Structure formats: C-alpha cells, structure tokens
C-alpha cells in the first residue's frame, strides 16, 4: 500500500489485546519498511500444524487460551531474532506478553549490542493499540481466514462477497481454534492479568506510545507510520 523504505528501523513491539489489529498493522509496517513480522502465535500455530516437538508441547495450552511456558518461548524467539532478515529491524507481534518476557527481551537485546560485528540494534519502540472491550469481542468472534491464501476477513466489518468463502480463491473460510467464544474470555483475562504489567514496564522505561485502535484501520496505520518516522528523523 505505501511506498517501501529500506532503511534501518530497529525493533518494533506491538502490544494490545487479542483482536486489537496487531497482525494487520504489523503486516503494513512490514510492507513499508521491509522488515519481518514475527508473530509468536503464528510460529506456534505452524509448529502445531507440523506436529514438531514444540508444537506437541504447546498444543493443549494454546487450545485452552493460556500462555505457553517461557522455557518453550525463549529458545523459539531467540532463534528467530538471530536470523539475518532481522538485522535491520523486525516487528514483534504477540511477544512479550508478560513483564518477565519484556525483561528477558531487554537482556537479549543488550547482549546483542556487544556482539561482533555489532548489529544495527536499538531499544524497541513499543506501540500499544487501545481498543474498547465490546469492539474486541465483535472483532474476534467475526474473524475468519482463508486457509489457502491467508487473507483475513471479519463477518461483521469486512465480510467476503459470498458467505464464508474467500473472494480471491473461493476456499471455505475458517475460524481460528482459539477465536471461539469459550476461548476468548480466558484469552482476554490472560491479557489483562499478564500483559498489563508489560504495558507498565515499557511505560516506566519511557518507550511506550499509545495509539487509539478504535479508529479506522488506515488511520491507525497512519499514526503508527508517523511514530516510526518521528523516531528515525
Ligand atoms: P496470538 O496469535 O498472538 O493470539 O497467540 C495465540 C496463542 O499462542 C496464545 O493464546 C498463547 O497460547 C500462545 N502465545 C503466543 N505468543 C505467546 C507468548 N509471547 N507467550 C506465551 N504464549 C504465547
């Protein structure tokens, strides 16, 4: 959508409850700045689908809407962030989700500052999407995706042209296993209990910027781009 820019942008952390639009905004940042989106939820779902050792361990926890343990998360995130495509920056979507994870990430980034050759690293800029609770429920229960091309719809706000099939390839749309109503409440509760301290942590360290996630998607994107531009101007 936007003009592509290939300069260094550094780590960007996107915070916000499930359904806040983190995935959508992360994709837009990725397209504009050509840095990878790292969604820990996507990596875990891939591992579950492939029935890897990690996937087998995480599957039941994810199906209950609970957080996967740190001893599984940390090696997975460390391994992903050390890939060459992360050198100019990356967007973390879904990580950190607890204050302990935020502290762990700071230690990891601090260690990288002393690596040789020194990678382009700076502290993450942390953008928190703030969304009304009822709006969140509609967004999550309405979310559908195409298993073939990955396109995301919402039956309330962005329905496909024909009932429950993808506009692009006609595949039947699916609901993510953890978007079911009975799983949403624990996910939102887990967010409240465990992620609110992450917001506090970044607020205290002066790295947090709030964005009103109730605004139309393009306006949210515009605000995020302005924040990133201001940081690097
Ligand atoms: P998401 O797609 O980000 O909503 O993540 C889906 C599920 O993956 C979550 O409900 C958790 O079970 C698991 N998960 C994703 N990221 C993390 C994380 N940072 N820490 C622990 N569990 C996670």
Domain boundaries, the chain: 10-35+88-231
Residue to mutate (ligand 1; options 22, 71, 94, 100; most atoms within 8 A of CB): 94
Q: What does DSSP assign to residue 149?
A: T
166 neighbors 160 (Cβ within 8 angstroms): yes
Q: Which atom of ligand 1 is nearest to the CA of 93?
A: 3
CA 73 / ligand 1 centre spacing (Å): 9
pLDDT for the residue 119 = 52
Number of C-beta neighbours around residue 201 at 10 A: 20
172 forms beta bridges with: 165
Out of 22, 45, 139, 144, pick the active-site residue. 22
pLDDT for the residue 184 = 85
- Helices 133-142, 181-190: axis angle to 10 degrees equals 140
Residue to mutate (ligand 1; options 67, 177, 179; most atoms within 8 A of CB): 67
How does pLDDT run along the chain (233 residues), one tens digit per residue? 445 555 678 899 999 888 888 888 999 999 999 999 999 999 999 999 999 999 999 999 999 888 999 999 999 999 999 999 998 899 998 899 999 999 999 999 887 655 655 555 578 999 999 998 888 888 888 989 999 999 989 999 889 999 999 999 999 999 988 788 888 888 888 788 878 899 999 999 889 999 999 998 999 999 999 999 887 66
SS3 call for 40: helix
Contacts of 223 (CB under 8 A, 6+ apart): 211, 212, 215
Out of 45, 139, 143, 144, pick the active-site residue. 143
pLDDT for the residue 104 = 95
Peptide bond into 201 cis (omega under 30): no
CATH fold for the domain made of 10-35+88-231: Rossmann fold (3.40.50)
37 forms beta bridges with: 91
Determine whether 187 is an active site residue: yes
Task: Give the gyration radius of the chain's Cα atoms.
Answer: 18
pLDDT for the residue 215 = 93
Residue 18 CB–ligand 1 contact under 6 Å: yes
pLDDT for the residue 151 = 93
pLDDT for the residue 112 = 67
What token pair was written down for 161?
A: 């042209």
Q: What mean pLDDT is reported for the chain?
A: 88
Distance CA 107, CA 82 (A): 14
């Amino acid at each position: 959508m936007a003009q592509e820019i290939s300069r260094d942008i550094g780590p960007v952390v996107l915070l916000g409850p499930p359904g806040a639009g983190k995935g959508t905004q992360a994709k837009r940042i990725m397209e504009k700045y050509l840095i990878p989106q790292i969604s820990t939820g996507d990596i875990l779902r891939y591992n579950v689908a492939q029935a890897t050792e990690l996937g087998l361990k995480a599957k039941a926890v994810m199906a209950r809407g609970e957080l996967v343990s740190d001893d599984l998360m940390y090696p997975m995130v460390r391994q992903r962030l050390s890939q060459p495509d992360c050198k100019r920056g990356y967007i973390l979507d879904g990580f950190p989700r607890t204050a302990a994870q935020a502290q762990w990430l700071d230690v990891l980034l601090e260690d990288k500052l002393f690596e040789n050759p020194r990678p382009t690293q700076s502290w993450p800029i942390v953008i928190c999407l703030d969304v009304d609770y009822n709006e969140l429920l509609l967004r999550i229960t309405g979310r559908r995706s195409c298993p073939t091309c990955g396109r995301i719809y919402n039956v309330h706000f962005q329905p496909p042209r024909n009932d429950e099939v993808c506009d692009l390839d006609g595949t039947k749309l699916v609901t993510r296993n953890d978007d079911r109503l009975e799983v949403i409440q624990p996910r939102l509760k887990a967010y409240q209990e465990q992620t609110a301290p992450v917001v506090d942590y970044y607020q205290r360290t002066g790295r947090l910027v709030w964005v009103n996630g109730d605004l139309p998607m393009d306006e949210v994107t515009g605000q995020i781009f302005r924040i990133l531009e201001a940081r690097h101007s």
